[in-house]
Amino acid sequence: MTSPTTLHLFCRVVDNYGDIGICWRLARQLQQEHHIAVTLWVDDLASFRRICPQVVLDLELQQVAGVTVRHWRGQDGEYTTADVADIVIEFFAVDIPPGYIAAMAQCEPRPRWFNLEGLTAEEWVEGCHLLTSPHPRLPLTKHFFFPGFTDKTGGLLREAGLEQQRLQFQADPAAMVDFLARFGVTPAEMAATRVSLFCYPYAPVAELFRVWQSGTAPVCCLVPEGVATEAVQAFLGTEAKAGAFASHGSLTVRVLPFVPQPDYDKLLWACDFNFVRGEDSFVRAQWAGWPFVWHIYPQDENLHHKKLRAFLQRYVAAVPSLAAFSLYWNGAGVTDGDEAVDWGVLWAAVEADMAEIVEKSADWQRQMLKNGDLASNLLKFATTLP
């Protein structure tokens, strides 16, 4: 295959910001670094706008940062071969319009068709990466492309200049202070343990707040607006709007506005410890090189707990304290429904091991860099297809 010039990426927003977050990063990277004309089909522009303020909600078609954004309203419609891109990616097995698929079958040569799957550390992924799935009726073949944590997968999403940007930012204390000052963080809070908190509503945030509040070490917790709202409002004693803050005991909580993705990266880089959720912020926390706890997206029959354990086995198997905290944070640590969780004990164990966790996190980040980046790996494979 000659080098592709056009690519269509289909995204349905399920996990409010994770799905569109991944697809938006991928679309921008493909356009900016690989000079491909990308069209991002997305069904939920409102969620998209939270992480990209340039998005206009009432436009069917718009240009944002060099990417064509199309509001994907449904499965109906007729398409011609002129509507089809050289590469077609459906994110996480979404069903793209039947008319579009029919037009793909009329193209010569056929477009390269990928199902970009969700991220997991489970071993079976290596055997499924790049497997084919022939269409039952049409002369089309789809390839499964799995992100992952080994060189037998597609790697993780990462822009070419990301690591240099991180190192430059973290080597400039004044830049870090200026960045956090935008959100009201004071010099005293800069000297505290800085924690970013991004989680699903059922995370045991109130319990953790009580531990930090009664502790001896100052903690400054930075929470995006709309996250852990009930626990944050209870701590603040007021509405959890962007700009709100309060201090009780050793804990200060500040509510941040949702920020564009490059600023979210800086937030992760500027904190000592990050709580992240879903897939997009999960990956960005790994590139930050700092300790983190992952709140995994829930699945039926607790299948997400299996995925969580598979990742922890790779990431911090040698640090039981962080593994245990992560399991309990996700409701996977309790074997007896009546067993009480002592968050003070769990957090104290993490604190005691923090130097080792910091070292392991940096080692993990360097290990992931060796696998290349997902966008480049996908394009490289696409050019090998007949």
Active site residue ranges: 19, 279
8 Å CB contact between 122 and 306: yes
Q: How far is CA 324 from the centre of its chain?
A: 22
DSSP structural state of residue 34: H
DSSP structural state of residue 3: P
Q: What is the DSSP string of 118-177?
A: PP---THHHHHTT-EEE-SSSS-EEEEE---SSTTS--B---TTHHHHHHHHHT-HHHHH
CA 373, 302, 19, 264: dihedral to nearest 10 degrees?
Answer: -70
SS3 227: coil
8 Å CB contact between 90 and 114: yes
End-to-end CA separation in angstroms for the chain? 6
Distance, in Å, from the CA atom of 52 to the CA atom of 32, rounded to the nearest integer, reads 16
DSSP structural state of residue 81: G
Burial of 329 per CB tally in 10 Å (0-12, 13-18, 19+): buried
For residue 126, give the nearest of 89, 92, 155, 91 by alpha carbon.
155
Residue owning tokens 């000659």? 2
Task: Cite the beta strand spans of the chain per DSSP E.
Answer: 6-11, 37-42, 61-64, 67-71, 87-91, 112-116, 132-134, 141-145, 193-197, 219-224, 245-248, 251-256, 273-277, 292-295
For residue 378, give the nearest of 75, 153, 98, 81 by alpha carbon.
153
Q: Give counts: helices (H), strands (E), the chain.
A: 16, 14
8 Å CB contact between 4 and 385: no
